[in-house]
């Protein structure tokens, strides 16, 4: 049973609700100017072979690109499975035998999920030990929820992105005519449960537009689906992802103004600041999960940076608007 660390918390440790004092000359924004990166950690190549001993000795970026290209087929494979969405924390079995729907054109075996993640939100303080132990997961049993959410996952996707997770070996049945598939259950605790589904989905499909729509839903129409040419491009890990690079600083300002207008429309002048800060807390949760899982994906970080820049611009614009 695995618990990922809730640290580092420094960039958001002093974050407080946006404070606007009616007679003060300026509102107070107690937010970091950027999202701090954790120390870079390489993917351990031997972990990939522990997951799948038959994996070819291809470069890591090639493997990640191949997994991304299989995202639609992975979704199709998942649609043929009937998997419950949650289980009681106190009665987690070691595996589930998941029924498979018959198909005249079945997906490849490798496109089916390999494991089920039983995800619980970690409520322990940042100063708590971060070593994965059975006790750390058991300590969550007394939480508000008696259930954990189940997420079908691909162990190779996790192994190629999450440096803080151990490898989860794939155990496939050799019977391709079986009416069910056995998926081991892996209990995992993360700092922020609400943002885990969006992060987990991003690791599989690398859709920055969908992640931005999750972080800033009122702007979802502004984030078009990437073209097939850009989504199929393979770029170095140090390059700015093509999707985010399509937006300029002018877009940030324009989107920030639209975000302010949406906040006013949703909650009125008195609640606009709180509405914007709610977006900030979601980005904080995603950032915590990303750091805790040890994900250093350039496109993910660029997407978070872009969303955070829009939020900061919106909060600054709102503060300026309310001063006059």
DSSP annotation string for 102-126: --SSPPPGGGS--EEEEEEE--S-T
pLDDT at site 131: 33
Residues in the chain: 324
pLDDT at site 68: 95
pLDDT at site 12: 57
Instruction: Domain ranges for the chain, please list them.
Output: 2-323
Helical H segments across 70-225, by residue range = 71-79, 134-138, 155-159, 196-205, 208-215
pLDDT at site 184: 97
Beta strands in the chain (DSSP E): 2-3, 86-88, 95-99, 115-121, 147-153, 180-190
How does pLDDT run along the chain (324 residues), one tens digit per residue? 555 554 444 555 444 434 444 433 334 567 898 999 999 999 999 999 999 999 999 999 999 999 999 999 999 999 999 999 999 998 899 999 999 999 999 999 999 999 999 999 986 444 343 433 333 444 444 455 689 999 999 999 999 999 999 999 999 877 766 789 999 999 999 999 999 999 999 999 999 999 999 999 999 999 999 876 555 444 444 454 568 889 999 999 999 999 999 999 998 888 899 999 999 999 999 999 999 999 999 999 999 999 999 999 999 999 877 665
pLDDT at site 243: 80
Give the predicted TM-score (pTM) of the model. Answer: 0.84
pLDDT at site 253: 96
Give 139's DSSP letter: G
- Phi/psi for 23 (5° steps) reads -105, 5
Residue carrying the six token digits 């003060």:
24
- How many angstroms separate the CA atoms of 265 and 74, rounded? 39
- How many angstroms separate the CA atoms of 114 and 127, rounded? 33
β-pair type (86-88, 147-153): antiparallel
Beta partners for 119?
149, 188
Summarize pLDDT for 170-188 with one digit per residue, the tens: 998 777 667 899 999 999 9
């Amino acid at each position: 049973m695995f618990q990922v660390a809730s640290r580092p918390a420094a960039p958001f440790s002093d974050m407080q609700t946006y404070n606007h004092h009616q007679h003060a000359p300026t509102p107070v924004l107690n937010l970091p100017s950027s999202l701090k990166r954790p120390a870079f950690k390489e993917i351990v190549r031997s972990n990939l072979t522990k997951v799948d001993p038959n994996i070819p000795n291809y470069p890591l970026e090639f493997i990640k690109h191949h997994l991304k290209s299989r995202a639609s087929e992975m979704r199709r494979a998942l649609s043929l499975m009937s998997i419950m969405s949650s289980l009681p924390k106190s009665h987690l079995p070691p595996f589930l035998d998941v029924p498979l729907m018959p198909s005249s054109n079945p997906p490849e075996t490798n496109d089916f999920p390999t494991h089920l993640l039983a995800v619980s939100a970690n409520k322990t303080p940042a100063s708590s030990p971060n070593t994965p132990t059975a006790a750390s997961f058991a300590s969550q049993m007394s939480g508000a929820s008696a259930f954990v959410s189940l997420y079908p996952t691909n162990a190779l996707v996790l192994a190629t992105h999450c440096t803080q997770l151990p490898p989860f070996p794939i155990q496939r049945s050799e019977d391709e005519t079986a009416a069910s598939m056995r998926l081991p259950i892996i209990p995992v605790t993360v700092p922020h449960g609400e943002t885990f589904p969006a992060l987990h989905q991003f690791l599989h499909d690398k859709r920055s537009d969908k992640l931005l729509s999750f972080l800033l839903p009122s702007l979802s129409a502004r984030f078009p689906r990437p073209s097939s040419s850009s989504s199929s491009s393979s770029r170095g890990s140090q390059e700015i992802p093509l999707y985010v690079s399509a937006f300029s600083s002018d877009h940030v300002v324009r989107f920030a103004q639209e975000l302010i207008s949406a906040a006013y429309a949703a909650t009125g002048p008195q609640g606009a600041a709180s509405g914007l800060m709610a977006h900030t807390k979601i980005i904080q949760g995603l950032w915590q999960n990303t750091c805790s899982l040890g994900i250093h994906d350039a496109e993910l970080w660029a997407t978070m940076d872009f969303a955070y820049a829009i939020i900061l611009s919106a909060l600054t614009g709102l503060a300026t608007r309310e001063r006059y």
